[in-house]
Structure 1
Amino acid sequence: MGFPGAVADREDADYAVLGAPLDVSTTFQPGARFGPERIRRFSQSYDDYDRRTDHHFSKCGVHDAGDVRAWDDATDYLDYLGGSLADLHRDDVLPLLLGGEHTVTAAGVRATDPDTLVVLDAHLDLREAYDGNPWSHAAVVRRALDGDPADDPLSAVDGVADRVVLLAARTGSKAEWERAEQDDVTVVAPEDVADWEPDLAGEDVYLSVDIDGADPSVAPGTGTMEPFGLSAREMRDVVRQVAPHAIGFDAVEVNDRDDGQAAALAGKLLKEFVFSHAAADPDH
């Protein structure tokens, strides 16, 4: 089942949906491997037409490239996935990555090498390692900023972000909060996200949406729920603001432990991203 409206051929595409069902370092409730399929399935009912932008999704040049089947060696998988994403980026096709656990964002950042990584997430994800694993989903923002701790760049791509903006982060270890105080990290608390004014002009931005940035009452189908999060509308508004500056997008950490609420939100945010990005592009 392809993402609805993603009907463009690969050679004609401006955007490409790519599933990355990695699910090896989930620390509480597993099931992120089902995320790409669920996001596609629970997006089937959405209208093709967007009144705000006067765009049809099916005419925005979106291609569904299927999934990159995951295996249990995360570093090897990220290398392969990063190569697939880099191929899209080199062809001026904007990747729309569907996780899978949040670790897959490292491949997206490596492939696109953005100036700024904007992350909607309940967690800081700035650990050097979690349970000894530097490629845990709990360390993905640290990897996107500081690269491979083994100082052994992967063969396909090894880009990192110059800075990160963490929106709705509300929990982390003491060491993570100390890392967040450095100049290359900005943390915007959930209660301040509605008033956040992005300063992204002239920058290449990668936008990562961890669905647990939303409050669990909105999106319970995720691995590590954290109360006091964002509303669906607040998530939407961030996506609309950031999309015009973006060169890559992902929606991650959706699992199968709800009735489709998390997947439905992730799919809608993907569509909002494409509509907003396409509306800001004069070629559309």
Structure 2
Amino acid sequence: MKSKELIFLALSCLSALVQACSGHDHQTREWSQEELDELDKKWGAEFTESYVLTAYRVQWGYAGISTFAHLQYHKCLTTPSELFDIAIIGAPFDTAVSYRPGARFGPRAIRAASARQTSFRGFNPRAGINPYASWARILDCGDIPVTPVDNAVAVKQMTAAFTELSARAPSSPALHARPKLVTLGGDHSLSLPALRAAYAARGGPVRVLHFDAHLDTWHPAKYPSYWTSAQSRFTHGSMFFLAGEEGLIANGTGTPSVHAGLRTRLSDLGDYEDDDAQNWVRISADDVDELGTKGIIESIMETLGTEDPVYLSVDIDVLDPAFAPGTGTPEPGGWTTRELIRILRGIEDLNLVGADVVEVAPAYQGAGEETALAAAQVVFEILSSMVKRGLSEMGKTGVASMEEEIFIEEL
């Protein structure tokens, strides 16, 4: 036998041996439902309590791929058949910043920091609900594929993506006409395309509650340069000015929007002129010393009420750098994480139509992930409020099931 034939025979035998050892039979044979159920009991066990409307899976916080709070993942932009009531969507974009870049890694960091949030241990005592095991179908819809090399294209991409997702039919159409988006940033400029989408979905402007150290209503000319362009108007400090110009924010008489946590750096007091012209109410970081968190909550609720649609935008730099160093434009003198969370819990009656949590730049945070952890908790509080408001709406419309009615009475 020739050497080539011997080599071919040896390779053939080796191939057969590998195929036999690779569990080929497992791939080709048909599995019975009983066997599949047994596999699910072993590797995908579920745990259900009587008040929970949908079963939820037990999973250790450190296990599994990194979706927000271990939520089910679908790339929603390419799977329109997957309906949702609330979508977690990442916008990894940071080329509109004026100081430190790095927030493009924010969505990934926030998801990782949310690992201890699970449907199994997702009960929120202050709200009296588990947002991950209630009426709302909440999905992690992945990230918008935003270009890092052309801001004009990036704005178009984000606007198109937010508009597409906001126009979808919700999973619970009896409760709301359109689903809600909670965006993980990314720099703060993403609020402009998000507000464009909110306007399109609702057919009109919304009011804004803006937690931030900075105004973000700066006229683009406040960043002076000989070299100007259409792109240079779009920054993470000018997007609310642009949104106001486009009529996306309901800033008429009697419908102001709110900044909270301000301690911004100014050129002079004239910097407030654009803000005043667009009818914003300003709550400074120092106000918490005189008013306390209760007073801040009352000021916000008296201004915004409970009926008008509100878009909530949380820049993580509203927190003091001691609590959130991992951000692009840190400003000393901010609120504590506890103060912000307490205020968020106190405004749960707002009619939130969407939200974002932005400016998490993990390269500047400590090894303990304090900035991303704070951001993940903020998202949890926002989701809790959205879901709880939905339960309240169920009671008003009479669409609640028996289990849900019992649940509402317990609240």
Q: Is TM-score (shorter-chain normalized) higher than 0.5?
A: yes
Aligned-partner Cα distance in 2 for 1:261–1:67:
22
TM-score between the two structures when normalised by the length of structure 1: 0.89
In the alignment of these two chains, the number of paired residues is 273
Which residue pairs with 1:150 in the alignment? none
Q: Paired residue for 2:330? A: 225
Within the alignment, does 1:265 sit opposite 2:374 as a pair? yes
Post-superposition CA distance 1:64-108 (Å, at most 9, x none): 110112212223222221222222322311001011110001111
Q: Given the superposition, is the C-alpha separation of residues 12 and 227 from structure 1 closer, same or farther in structure 2, using an over 3 Å criterion?
A: same
SS in 2 for 1:137: coil
1:35 aligned to 2:99?
no
> Do structure 1's residue 255 and structure 2's residue 361 form an aligned pair?
yes
Q: 1:168 aligns with which of 229, 245, 261?
A: 261
1:3 counterpart residue number: 68
2-structure distance, mates of 1:183, 1:109: 15
TM-score of the two chains, using structure 2 as the length reference: 0.63
Residue of structure 2 in register with 1:53 after alignment: 127
Higher Cα radius of gyration: 2
Superposition deviation, residue 183 in structure 1: 5.8
Q: Deviations over 1:139-188 (max 9, x none)?
A: 122122123xxxxxxxxxxx611233111111133343122233611111
1:275 shift after superposition: 0.7
Name the CA distance, whole Å, in 1 between partners of 2:355 and 2:245: 20
The one-letter amino acid of 1:161's match is I
Cα RMSD for the two superposed structures: 2.0
Decide which of 184, 188, 193 is 2:279's aligned counterpart: 184
Q: CA deviation at 1:228?
A: 0.9
Residues 107-122 of structure 1: pairs in structure 2 closer than 5 A: 107-113=193-199, 114-122=205-213
Assess if the C-alpha contact under 8 Å between 1:124 and 1:176 holds in 2. Answer: no
Query: Take 2:278 and 2:191, find their aligned partners in 1: how far apart are those partners?
Result: 22
Summarize deviations over 1:203-253 as a string: whole Å, max 9, x none: 110000000011111111000100111111222233234454110100000
Indicate conservation of the 8 Å contact 1:5/1:48, yes or no: no
Q: Give structure 1 stretches of 5+ with no counterpart.
A: 148-158
Structure with bigger strand share is: 1
Query: For residues 209 and 267 of structure 1, do their structure 2 counterparts lie closer, same or farther at Cα, with a shift above 3 Å needed?
Result: same
After the TM superposition, which residues 1-284 of structure 1 pair with which residues of structure 2 at under 5 Å, given as runs?
Answer: 1-7=66-72, 11-46=82-117, 47-59=121-133, 60-71=136-147, 72-91=149-168, 92-113=178-199, 114-129=205-220, 130-131=223-224, 132=228, 133-147=232-246, 160-163=248-251, 164-171=257-264, 172-174=266-268, 175-182=270-277, 184-193=279-288, 194=293, 195-196=295-296, 197=298, 198=301, 199-243=304-348, 244-256=350-362, 257-259=364-366, 260-282=369-391, 283=394
Identity level (%):
29
**AA at the equivalent of 1:55:** I
Q: Which has the higher helix share?
A: 2
Contact 1:220 1:258 in 2 (8 A): yes
The answer to whether the Cα contact below 8 Å between 1:35 and 1:254 also exists between their aligned partners in 2 is: yes
Compared with structure 1, are the counterparts of its residues 69 and 183 closer, same or farther at alpha carbon in structure 2 (3 Å cutoff)?
closer
Q: Separation in 2 of the partners of 1:6 and 1:93?
A: 17
- Cα offset, 1:118, TM superposition: 0.9
- Offset at 1:8? 7.5
1:202 & 1:45 partners in 2: Cα distance?
Answer: 33
Name which of structure 1's ranges 15-24 and 196-205 shifts more when overlaid on structure 2: 196-205
What is the SS of the residue equivalent to 1:206?
Answer: strand
The answer (yes or no) to whether the contact 1:6–1:57 under 8 Å persists in 2 is no
List per-residue Cα deviations over 1:91-138 (Å, max 9, x = no partner): 311001011110001111111024211100001112211354210111
CA distance in structure 2 between the partners assigned to 1:42 and 1:84 by the alignment: 25
